[in-house]
Amino acid sequence: MISQTEYKNIRKCEDGFIDASEKEECLLIEVIKIQEFKEYPFKIVDDDKMHELVESIMLNGVLTPVIVRKKENDKYEMISGHRRLFAARQIGLENIPARIKRYSDDEAILAMVESCLVREEILPSEKAFAYKMKYDAMRRLGRDKESLSSKNGKRQWANVQLAKEVGESRNQIHRYLRLVYVIPSILDLVDKKALALMTAVEISYLSPEVQEMLYAYMLENDICKSFQIYALRDYFKDHDTITKMEMIRILNENAPFNENNRFQKIIITREKLKEYFPVFYTKSQMEKVLFDLLGEWKKMNAQ
């Protein structure tokens, strides 16, 4: 193993987040001293690509230094290089080449997000929380207000500036920012492309408790469409709470038509049945009356 001094003399690095003319020395840092970034929004998956990275590092070492910042108690926080750190730990490397940056908390967030958004594949949930972290950091740092625009003389706010920096439309940024209010189980359906992003945005306006009931409904029935969620949200314009049975009724009544939907469970409350049956009628007696009436109705409509 080469010493830190030898390594410093062998290689120096340029940092994409600092002035292009500035050069910094790379150091070897003990892997056990590096902590993951707090609330890191991206998933580290032990998949085929990770296996390829592990094999590459075993053969060639860590060719691109990670970026860290100094923390208390002789520890470091990872800024850029979480996948390389994961691979290094898999292999059992004791040290990893790194550049140490002096970032404030918000500067660290911006650098971390910017370094990860260059990935080829980013899940909607990853974008959602990464954009939210970047958006909040930009506002705290005052980057939500730029100099006056030469075109319209208006200031650029954080969502507009964020949209420019990540190459998304302002509306799309708004949609991703709403996803952070979706419970994990439903957000996972978006990542798996089972639930449309726009539908998830509508769901984000429902309380976590209602979202939990909605998720249970989708597991037992089918993935909801946007217009079903519109109907559910309309209900809350006049109500503060909702029962499970009432939610099922709304979703079923607004479900897309298909042959199976005709035979979804129909809920008739006990209070409603009391209006038509004597109190001494058993369940079997009530069922017989209902089916007899349905039989008569079918005959009448068959003529």
Reported as a single tens digit per residue, the pLDDT across 159-217 is 888 899 888 999 999 999 999 999 999 999 999 999 999 999 999 999 999 999 999 99
How far apart CA 155 and CA 161 sit, in angstroms, is 10
Phi, psi values for residue 30, rounded to 5°: -65, 130
Average pLDDT over residues 12-39: 66
Q: Which CATH number fits domain 4-104: 3.40.50.720, 3.90.1530.10, 3.40.50.261, 3.90.1150.10?
A: 3.90.1530.10
Check pLDDT > 50 for residue 11: no
Q: Where in the chain is the domain with CATH 3.90.1530.10?
A: 4-104
70-24-110 Cα angle (round to 5): 55
> Which run of H or of E encompasses 113?
helix 105-116
pTM of this prediction?
0.70
Which amino acid is present at 164?
K
Can you count the helices (H) and strands (E) in the chain?
Answer: 14, 7
Check pLDDT > 60 for residue 259: no
Q: What is the pLDDT of residue 243?
A: 93
Average pLDDT over residues 71-80: 91
How high does pLDDT run on average in the chain?
83
96-105, 112-121, 171-180, 246-255: range with lowest mean pLDDT: 112-121
**Torsion sign across C-alpha atoms 169, 171, 172, 173:** positive
44-48, 214-218, 259-263: range with lowest mean pLDDT: 259-263
